[in-house]
Amino acid sequence: MKACLLIRVRPGHHRQVAEKISKFPKVKEAFSVMGTADVVVRVEVSDLRAMTDLGTEIGNLEDVVTTETLIAAEA
């Protein structure tokens, strides 16, 4: 299952959060962006349970304000 997470962080913490998330095993890519989100994360997981666990882990990180998960429409 492929997905992207759009993450908002506390001001000035986008680089640190992206670097920390990029080290997670299921994360393919994490980078800072300009716009309504501060960090975009591209992931590949085995199933919805794994996506839920990863999203929860990311959402619980210090400096993360909100997350939005976009699950790919194709397999």
Task: Please report the DSSP string for 15-52 in residue order.
Answer: HHHHHHHHTSTTEEEEEE-SSS-SEEEEEE-SSHHHHH
Confidence of residue 67 (pLDDT cuts 50, 70, 90): very high
Give the pLDDT mean for 6-30.
96
Answering whether pTM is above 0.85, one says yes
Structure-derived torsion over alpha carbons of residues 51, 56, 57, 61, reported in degrees to the nearest 10: 140
Give the pLDDT mean for 12-23.
96
Per-residue model confidence as pLDDT tens digits over 48-64: 999 999 999 999 999 99
Domains of the chain: 2-71 (3.30.70.920)
Per-residue model confidence as pLDDT tens digits over 4-14: 999 999 999 99
